[in-house]
């Protein structure tokens, strides 16, 4: 393990992993914030418990759909990078 910690590539991989995980968390909070801002929810249970008075919608509003797409795109690119750590 000490030789791994001394490797500069491991340092840069770890730094990138931390930054990208923080990015995923920020996008997760953004999607919730946008959904709360628009007062919409895709199901009735969330409208009754999480955001009081939320409107149940069949299709996502454009703002919510954009935030969800950003989160899905980030997950599609970041997770394979994190899982492919050996580089060989």
Angstrom CA distances, 88 to 10, 24, 67, stand at: 14, 26, 34
Main-chain phi, psi angles of 53, to 5 degrees: 80, 15
Domain count, the chain: 1
Domain carrying residue 78: 2-83
Here the tokens at position 68 are 């969800």
pLDDT above 80 (res 86): no
Residue with tokens 């968390």: 25
Predicted TM-score of the model (pTM): 0.76
Model pLDDT, residue 8: 87
pLDDT in tens, 28-80: 999 989 988 888 888 877 777 766 778 888 888 999 999 999 999 999 999 88
In a domain, 88, yes or no: no
In a domain, 74, yes or no: yes
In a domain, 66, yes or no: yes
**Alpha carbon distance 62, 76 (integer Å):** 21
């Amino acid at each position: 393990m000490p030789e791994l910690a001394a490797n500069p590539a491991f340092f840069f991989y770890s730094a990138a992993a931390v930054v990208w995980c923080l990015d995923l968390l920020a996008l997760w909070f953004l999607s919730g914030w946008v959904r709360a801002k628009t007062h919409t929810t895709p199901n009735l249970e969330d409208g009754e418990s999480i955001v009081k008075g939320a409107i149940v919608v069949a299709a996502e509003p454009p703002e919510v759909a954009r935030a969800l797409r950003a989160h899905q795109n980030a997950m599609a690119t970041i997770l394979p990078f994190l899982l492919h750590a050996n580089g060989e």
